[in-house]
Amino acid sequence: MAWKRRNSKLGAMAEGLAKAGALQFGTFTLPDGSDSSYYVNLRALPSYPGTYRLVSEALAEQVSKKVPKADAICAVPTMGLILAVPVAVALEKPLVYIRTERHENDRLVEGEVRPGWNVVVVGDLATSGKTIMSAAEAIEDEGGRVSSAVVLIDRLEGAREELGKKKVALHAVTDVVELADTLLSMELITKDNMKAITKSVGRRPG
């Protein structure tokens, strides 16, 4: 029964993401410079409030279950902030976020991080893990500590392993194969689309 409830939630979220154009196919260059045959674009998500709510609730549930003793939430740039705000509000946790460049006060973190705080990093995707790790290091520079990160989608390209080496546990609402498999079963993507995703899985050194 629990599996069926999760499957229903995932199906609704997957369908909503498809309608929002979140999963795109072609030739793309990712932020880390690598090439990919697919791209996850969540920028239009807030324009679809029903799906935005499902995503926010799923992320909040992950934080609540996996990092119940988190003192604060840290959003990675830039889509991470869009996702982390409703999560922080729902869980009544302080929110800080990482800037894309240092402010005039030489800080990368906006907001208050108290010494010793257990801060969970929240983002949209995990690919190589570099963005999450950079956020964790910025939080640690402020006196906090990061042992966990929560994302909507794990691209299964090495982030979990790389973050694990730094003692940061990665928790994802879903991964790209599970998401694509769900969309394929709903006939919202093709078998060729599925192949474009699976050929990217695990290609990065772990």
Band of residue 203 on the pLDDT scale cut at 50, 70, 90: low
Domain boundaries, given as residue ranges, for the chain: 2-198
pTM for the model stands at 0.90
Does the pLDDT of residue 3 top 70, yes or no? Answer: no
Tell which CATH classification among 2.40.50.100, 3.40.50.2020, 3.20.20.70, 3.50.50.60 matches the domain 2-198.
3.40.50.2020
Q: What is the pLDDT of residue 7?
A: 64
What average pLDDT does the structure give for the chain?
91
Does the pLDDT of residue 5 top 60, yes or no? Answer: no
pLDDT in tens, 57-89: 999 999 999 999 999 999 999 899 999 999 999
Does the pLDDT of residue 152 top 60, yes or no? Answer: yes
Q: What is the pLDDT of residue 105?
A: 64
Band of residue 2 on the pLDDT scale cut at 50, 70, 90: very low
Task: Pick 106 or 19 by higher pLDDT.
Answer: 19
Does the pLDDT of residue 151 top 90, yes or no? Answer: yes
Q: What is the pLDDT of residue 1?
A: 34
Does the pLDDT of residue 172 top 90, yes or no? Answer: yes
pLDDT in tens, 6-55: 468 899 999 999 999 999 999 898 877 788 899 999 999 999 999 999 99
Contacts 24+ apart (CB under 8 A), 129-133: 129/158, 129/159, 129/160, 129/162, 129/163, 129/170, 130/32, 130/162, 131/31, 131/76, 131/77, 132/76, 132/159, 132/163, 132/168, 132/170, 133/162, 133/163, 133/166, 133/168
Band of residue 129 on the pLDDT scale cut at 50, 70, 90: very high
